[in-house]
Amino acid sequence: MEISVYHMGDEWKTVAVDDHWLIAILGPLCAVRAPLFEIEMNLAVPDDVYTRLKNPTFVIIVKRRPYDAEVFYFC
């Protein structure tokens, strides 16, 4: 699974997201049961978020994901 977080403004930039939003995004994914569940994100998740998720069932891999207008076009 891939999750990309960007800020819409004058220019698309990867932004830091506060812990509340990361928990809201990742929390429901803790219910997924799979032998291997990897999530690729464009930002690092703080250790405090992992602690608050209480035994996440996934691994997060951080990868650079430049903004692509064709993929992320919003009307």
Domain boundaries, the chain: 2-62
pLDDT at 19: 86
pLDDT at 10: 45
Question: Has this prediction a pTM greater than 0.75?
Answer: no
pLDDT at 67: 66
The pLDDT tens digits for 8-59 are 554 445 555 778 888 999 999 999 999 999 999 988 888 999 899 988 999 9
pLDDT at 73: 63
User: Are the beta carbons of 3 and 39 closer than 8 angstroms?
Assistant: yes
What type of residue is 53? L
DSSP-assigned states of every residue in 2-65: EE---B-SSS-B-----HHHHHHHHGGGGG---S--EEEESSPPPHHHHHHH-S-S-EEEE---
Query: Strand, helix or coil at 39?
Result: strand
